[in-house]
Structure 1
Amino acid sequence: MLKNWDVGGGLSDFWAYIREPRPHRWTVWGLAIVLPLLIFYGFSKYLVPYERPKPQIIYFENWKADRSEAEIRADWVARAKETTRANAKRRAEFQRLADMMGVEYDASEAEKVTRETLGKEADAIEKKPEPPKRSTLAERAARGATAPAAQP
């Protein structure tokens, strides 16, 4: 049934039907075109609302045109120190995580660069607090049971 389609015959019959002069032919054609367009417009406008991105204001630094080389270099050094400080803090956090997990984490080269850049300030950043030592169950058992304090 679906193997032999006669598309040409169907199109010729449709064209013959359209060409016949019928009353209200143009009204029906107008409705047939306008109604689906209105429906598609309604779906596109109200079913899936599109939120336009809000305008953003992006600020950037302006520098004086008559800055000296020394001011430019001082600004570069300040930004480099700030970046190095942030990297040192992040590296210290990773070092603590590696110590907790028992993973070897070698940051000696990075620490060397940090010390060259920040100087004595690097010691304060990279000092890692000693984790509190917790005794194991075997150590507590070896010490013996301690008597609970008397309650009033």
Structure 2
Amino acid sequence: MATMRLLNEEQYLIQTVDKKLALTTHRVIQRKRLRHLRGCTSIMLEDIESWQIKATGNMWYMGLSVASLPFIYLNDSWAFLGAFFLLLFLMTRQNRIHIISQNAVIVLPLEVDETGLNSLVEIFRQAIKVRMERLEQQLPEKVAA
């Protein structure tokens, strides 16, 4: 597995049990453990433009449902198969948090309910606020040097 090295003075704030997602003092890190995608995606906290809650589902099910539509002309039983895949798509839809920056989008692999969402967003806001304060403190030091 590819590991993401921490930057100078960077510390972990929160990390999931499976270590796929981490919030540090400087950035949000998402590790990918798929066979064909090994590596990490990260967004610096100061680069986060917004976050949104979107319902996401497995698009393979929707694609299989649409692919079965032409076969309905051959035999009406294909409609059941298309409906089955459509129901699977609707059943796998979950509300996920999308963190958006100019260069990347990270979809948090967490199922978050409404009460937990407010605390999670508050943790992100506090981390961003602390990071921006540190950057403002370092800026006058660099200008004076």
Q: Which category describes the TM-score, using the shorter chain as reference length?
A: under 0.3
User: Which structure has more strand as a fraction of its residues?
Assistant: 2
Task: Report the structure number with the largest CA radius of gyration.
Answer: 1
Q: TM-score, normalised by structure 1?
A: 0.24
User: Which structure has more helix as a fraction of its residues?
Assistant: 1
Higher RCO (C-alpha 8 Å, min separation 6): 2
